[in-house]
Amino acid sequence: MQRTSTTLGHSHLVIETGSPRPDATTIVERKGLGHPDTLADHLAERLSQAYSQYTLERFGAVLHHNFDKLALLGGASEVRYGSGKMTAPVRVLINGRAAAVCGGEEIPVEELVEETVRVFFAERLPEAADHLDLRFHITSNSSPGAVLTDEAEAERTRWFAPRSVEDLRERRTLLANDTSLGTGWAPENPFESFVRELVDHFSGVSTFTVQNRWCGSDVKLMGYWDGEAADVVLCVPQKSSYVDNRAAYLANKHTVLAECRRLAALRLPSAPVQFRLNVRDVPEKDEFYLTYTGSSIESGDEGVVGRGNRVNGLITPLRPMNMEGANGKNPVYHVGKLYNLAATRLAQRLHEEFGDHVEVHLVSATGEPLDRPWRILVRLAADDAEPNRAQLLVTEALSTFPALTAEIVRHGVVMS
């Protein structure tokens, strides 16, 4: 591979020719725990898990549902140095479908959803937890294909209103619900791992966030790595209740940058890394990334399932990707969830076995057996990889779907 660099106006232009390795140049993004898109993803998954656990305990099966079209519409806030408040609620659009009855017994879907939403916000954004406007758009409408005739009732009309769990087709055979794609790759390069760690360090529970209560969770990072050096653009909000004045905000920025450099020296010791933090700040006008809750969801921003991190927790446009929103999908047969998880885990397993770079692509066809994808593409960069051994590992991975479903329902699977 050959690389040519030049300046194009204010932009830095790089042209690569030949066959670049997938980790030679890296562009990677990660959205933190308080980013509106991450909030939407994680809330949708929490709703799916809560509904699944309830119906599994009550009826012995996960009933049909999907919450993967959930959206969050930002509220409004008033931010001052040393204080702040919400002035308009965050609207939670609970869009989706869920069986509301099984065998004549009603399922308290809205009550279950509301409790889950409020607990989630109390954990993730406590300042906003009492300022929520829940909008329920949950139906039990049948899937397409239920043609009405004078013969027996079409099976699909009972998918979201089963007479018993025996009406669930997946009890007899697991079929793919959609024609879709699951994608996975391995391994992460050191810079990708660094991006994940840095965002989690500032947006999750860490020694840094415990000691610096002003650090908000709506963190976002975009990074560029050429194999030798890195440039990072980072957004880290501050919480107004803990920032008394302009000087305190600016001092906190220096604290964040110092922590960035400290972690970079540990994780990328031989590479220079340049950081740019909160680039929209205009100090002389007191225009800062200063928030009351620690998230832009308080001030008009929106979050939508599927717009954030991929299943592996990163957004990597130079790696294979797909656009599926996995969170909130039914964990029993929704290939947009199961195939992406399976492909990611299989890629890691193949990398452990053969080394070098691995890609896995699982393509489903609607209505065909879940464990027999329509197309399977495995790309192994290792010249000495044994196809027969790889085939065995693929077969093992495709046999894990019932166990993968149980894992998701019981323990949750951290996605994005």
Which sign does the torsion angle of CA 328, 330, 334, 335 carry?
A: positive
Q: Is residue 153 part of a domain?
A: no
pLDDT tens-digit profile of 84-106? 999 999 999 999 999 999 999 99
Q: 3 pLDDT band (50/70/90 cuts)?
A: low
Tell me which amino acid residue 278 is. N
pLDDT tens-digit profile of 204-239? 999 999 999 999 999 999 999 998 999 999 999 999
Residue 344 and residue 247 share a domain = no
Q: 376 pLDDT band (50/70/90 cuts)?
A: very high
Question: What's residue 397's pLDDT?
Answer: 94
Distance CA(241)–CA(127), nearest Å, equals: 11
Residue 407 and residue 392 share a domain = yes
Q: Is residue 173 part of a domain?
A: no
pLDDT tens-digit profile of 316-328? 999 999 989 999 9
Residue 114 and residue 95 share a domain = yes
Question: What's residue 150's pLDDT?
Answer: 65
Residues 6 or more apart whose Cβ sits within 8 Å of residue 327: 40, 41, 42, 44, 45, 48, 68, 305, 306, 337, 415, 416
Return the CATH number at 273.
Answer: 3.30.300.340
| Domain count across the chain | 3
pLDDT tens-digit profile of 37-75? 999 999 999 999 999 999 999 999 999 999 999 999 999
Residue 115 and residue 193 share a domain = no
Residue 369 and residue 333 share a domain = yes
Q: If you write DSSP's letter for every residue of 132-200 in order, what string do you get? A: EEEEEEEE-PPPTT----SSSPPGGGGTTS-SSGGG-GGGT--B-SS--EEEEEEPPPHHHHHHHHHHH
Q: Is residue 383 part of a domain?
A: yes
Residue 131 and residue 105 share a domain = yes
Return the CATH number at 379.
Answer: 3.30.300.280
Residue 292 and residue 341 share a domain = no
Q: Which residue among 234, 266, 296 closes a domain? A: 296
Residue 285 and residue 348 share a domain = no
Tokens for 178, please give them: 């959609």
Residue 201 and residue 243 share a domain = yes
Q: Which residue among 296, 330, 351 closes a domain? A: 296
Question: What's residue 2's pLDDT?
Answer: 61
Residue 64 and residue 50 share a domain = yes
Question: What's residue 8's pLDDT?
Answer: 46
Nearest to 203 by CA among 293, 285, 131, 286: 293
Q: Is residue 163 part of a domain?
A: no
Return the CATH number at 89.
Answer: 3.30.300.10
Distance CA(262)–CA(257), nearest Å, equals: 9
> 70 is in which domain, residue-wise?
36-144
Question: What's residue 14's pLDDT?
Answer: 56
Tell me which amino acid residue 368 is. E
Over residues 366-390, mean pLDDT: 91
Distance CA(225)–CA(27), nearest Å, equals: 7
What is the DSSP-derived secondary structure letter of residue 220? Answer: E
Tokens for 13, please give them: 């232009």
Q: Is residue 4 part of a domain?
A: no
Q: Is residue 3 part of a domain?
A: no
Question: What's residue 11's pLDDT?
Answer: 52
Q: Which residue among 144, 168, 201 closes a domain? A: 144
